[in-house]
Structure 1
């Protein structure tokens, strides 16, 4: 009985000494399942600071009950109070969330090249002697029609009158999805439009239903499509509310 009591007392003393002394605690920081480098790990109790490496891992001295603060630029800070399990092999697994970047104002300006048109070149006047001595004597009629009608150009103009107006190509939803995927990444919808991840597909279907989307993709103007998506986001929010 005395031996059992002594063993229990010894184990309690060891645990108490461990909890009051600093020991290395290991851990890993991830964001959406991917390792996150450059996150500061601060022991609020002792004031020591380390930074996660390229694999998102860190090691810092601490003791049971210490508070670790995880902070990084564009990330939401997290606090973790250490317990006995955190000093084991598994260590501290922490997930960081990126802060949404608010787009205050976007101003799009069309650049215009500042090129001044050059005045047309003026041909020098020819003297009467030069005209008479010219290989093509303008004073003698040779049967050619000078400044005659350009029948080829007139034929093209007449043909254009009978051509119908070219219609825009009809863009399918699959082609729209491919275009959006090629020109807009996931961060644009999460950060710029501030949509939730499960709202992105529903929002795009809402945009595809607008005939203007097909016209803009036909024109291949990314700036106009960006404005269109921002305006549609406001309509989408009103519908949800």
Structure 2
């Protein structure tokens, strides 16, 4: 009985050690049932990155509990947490959704000047002598002038409004914090960025002050945001020193 208990304890210890050590996890990414190549697979926990091949397959070092992020251009990013069954024969199977192409809104406004119609002035009939005489009052002879010319000011306003751009959305610090909280866990800052726990909040405030952070949050680009945080870590370290 005692020997059986020792064997069970040994097997439990081996299984626990296996779950805490990294090993390659296999997987496949598809879109509408078809293999999807060129998708970046990011292990948010240890910082490693791989790209799916033409068959949509990938292999990345990980362990149970690690968070994988799947991101690609024109695709909605996905995030999963690995469990023990993901390290089996079937591996990780993930389906990506293509993002809808958003058209830029263009506002076209028709502008009409307030023009009053004036009845034409009827000139009295002139004699043959006056018609043949090229005088300033002779309406039968073109003198090179343009009557009632184009209103170039109004035309300029109409063209300007055709190219009027939509204002960018202003991203607040609250929205930035929610975005970081949803996409990056504590292990990313402690293990990948090598920050101390009491430095994380100060580092994030340092990142929020950079206008590029708001642009990345507005574009919902997890991969570029991860690269941005890694680059800002070096600036933060220099500031501390």
- TM-score of the superposed pair, with normalisation by structure 1: 0.43
**Larger Rg computed on CA atoms:** 1
- TM-score of the superposed pair, with normalisation by structure 2: 0.43
